[in-house]
Amino acid sequence: MTTATTVKTEYEAIIGLETHCQLSTNTKIFSNSSTAFGADPNTNIDPICMGLPGVLPVLNEKVLEYAVKAGLALNCQIAKYSKFDRKQYFYPDLPKNYQISQYDLPIAEHGWLEIELVDAEGNPIRKRIGITRLHMEEDAGKLVHAGSDRLSGSSYSLVDYNRAGIPLVEIVSEPDLRSGVEAAEYAEELRRIVRYLGVSDGNMEQGSLRCDVNISVRPVGRKEFGTKVEIKNMNSFSAIQRAIDYEIERQIAAIEAGDRIIQETRLWQEGAQCTSSMRVKEGSSDYRYFPEPDLAPIEVSNAQLEQWRSELPELPAQKRHHYESELGLSPYDARVLTEDRSIAEYFETAIASGANPKAAANWITQDIAAHLNKQKLTISQIGLTPTNLADIITRIETGKISNAQAKQKLPDLLSGISPEKAFAGLELITDPSVLEPIVDEVIAANSKELEKYRNGNTNLKGFFVGQVLKKTDKRADPKLTNELVEKKLNA
């Protein structure tokens, strides 16, 4: 959960995001070429994605399913009838010189997404961000600039068409965002949702999730929007936040200096931490849309829609609310546990196996998470099953082992050793008649420390407890040991 921030009180930022999300299908949107990332240039291509004469595209049914599920998860109205259109424009990496997209009849419209923030006092804030539309389209290829030129920086360009025809959904938000923090949180929540659905991996580093920001500022109280500026080239959520915060300050400074804000596309320069002008866009482009003649319109039946709706998982926001209201977890724990669907399912399986929710949350978000980060693993790759985690927590709560013993044996448990084997012979000593002679022996062997304790240095109680634990290989029940040591020292 992120802390909300504001701009200067006399100005208001108006922000909307256009997010391109690559769908996790095995093949492209209109052909059978692979969508695998990292292949050698121009190996995942075919006549259809290369736009060769005489070829006909065929819609990948999985693309439609994933688009509808994403629309449902974003609370959109799913169109019973939609179509594809040709969007005319020239890019060197767009083989056909037009992109197949959706224009006036997209697959989904009029949705919303809820983001969670905290104010300066730490109070939770929930804000609903409108979703204007979600539509399907194909991606273009990729230009690789190479060589060395004194003026332009490169002397020639190569084209890799592997991405041409990769299936995308473009998700356009309403201009409901007001700060870089809100925009970054919106983008993060959007990625959580598509990952939970399994429709996209959401990897920004590989270009699977790309966000363009539209931003303007206006004096507070004015209804008309200011001049819109688009920002591109942001490859992380923190970059989105920093780019927006910079651009807000830049536009406010320009307005106060009497300068005119021009409609343009700007790039985020990560190294310089600023935006720079890429191209001026004084008017909207005329893409000359017209219905795609090679693809039939799309009709989604009620039966198919309800089938896909029934396959939706519980989404991250629903899980967070459930964990906080019904399991009593803190907002922080709920957020960490629901960040990844596999972690949430691991936690829920541990709970179903009898683990105390708070104890399970602590183990997963602290000790297990530290191991995952250090070893660069996912939770599905460790040997400690959620059922065995529940077993460990139950052993601690029933006094069979101590928390310290469990942490000491955690590396073995994570490698797959069962709790029975890991804790064999390590059951806590909980019988006072067994533990009392050991306490007497430790006190008798440390007469100087005993004298200091009785002369007022009561902190030495911890020393005696530690000696008992050491003598018993940490098998002494900590609570009982504390009681017996204090009783003997004060006798």
DSSP string for residues in 276-304 = EEEEE-SS------EE-TTS--EE--HHH
Q: Are residues 418 and 436 in the same domain?
A: no
- Render pLDDT for 230-282 as a digit per residue (tens, 0 to 9): 999 788 999 999 999 999 999 999 999 999 999 999 999 999 999 999 988 75
Largest CA distance in the chain: 99
Provide, rounded to the nearest whole percent, the portion of the chain with pLDDT above 90. Answer: 77
Residue that terminates a domain, selected from 303, 322, 344: 303
Residue that terminates a domain, selected from 401, 422, 443: 422
Higher pLDDT, 479 or 154: 479
Q: Are 211 and 243 in contact (CB under 8 A)?
A: no
Handedness of CA 42, 44, 45, 49 (dihedral sign): negative
Q: Are residues 126 and 171 in the same domain?
A: yes
Q: Are residues 294 and 388 in the same domain?
A: no
DSSP alpha helix (H) spans, 331-477: 331-338, 341-352, 357-362, 369-375, 386-397, 403-408, 410-414, 419-422, 432-444, 447-454, 461-471
Q: Are residues 278 and 361 in the same domain?
A: no
Note the pLDDT of residue 121.
Answer: 81
| Closest alpha carbon to 33 in 43, 24, 23, 18 | 43
- Residue 120 burial (10 A CB sphere; 0-12, 13-18, 19+): exposed
In the predicted model, what is the mean pLDDT of residues 359-386?
Answer: 96
Q: Could you tell me the CATH number of the domain that includes residue 460?
A: 1.10.10.410
Q: Are residues 347 and 396 in the same domain?
A: yes
Q: Are residues 70 and 135 in the same domain?
A: yes
How, if at all, do strands 2-3 and 108-118 pair?
Answer: parallel
Q: Are residues 323 and 277 in the same domain?
A: no
309 occurs within a structural domain: no
Note the pLDDT of residue 2.
Answer: 62
Q: Which residues contact 164 (CB under 8 A, 6 or more apart)?
A: 45, 49, 50, 93, 94, 95, 138, 139, 140, 141
In the predicted model, what is the mean pLDDT of residues 203-219?
Answer: 94
345 occurs within a structural domain: yes
427 occurs within a structural domain: no
Note the pLDDT of residue 284.
Answer: 57
Higher pLDDT, 476 or 36: 36
Q: Are residues 62 and 103 in the same domain?
A: yes
- Take residue 241 and report the two structure tokens written for it: 């936040």
Note the pLDDT of residue 122.
Answer: 79
Q: Are residues 261 and 156 in the same domain?
A: yes
Under the banding of pLDDT at 50, 70 and 90, the label for residue 476 is confident
308 occurs within a structural domain: no
Provide, rounded to the nearest whole percent, the portion of the chain with pLDDT above 70. Answer: 96
* Residue 276 structural domain: 2-303
Q: Record the pTM.
A: 0.86
Q: Are residues 31 and 125 in the same domain?
A: yes
Residue that terminates a domain, selected from 303, 331, 353: 303
168 occurs within a structural domain: yes
Q: Are residues 263 and 355 in the same domain?
A: no
293 occurs within a structural domain: yes
Using DSSP, state whether 87 is helix, strand or coil.
strand
Note the pLDDT of residue 151.
Answer: 60
Q: Are residues 374 and 266 in the same domain?
A: no
Number of domains in the chain: 3
In the predicted model, what is the mean pLDDT of residues 164-193?
Answer: 97
Higher pLDDT, 285 or 26: 26
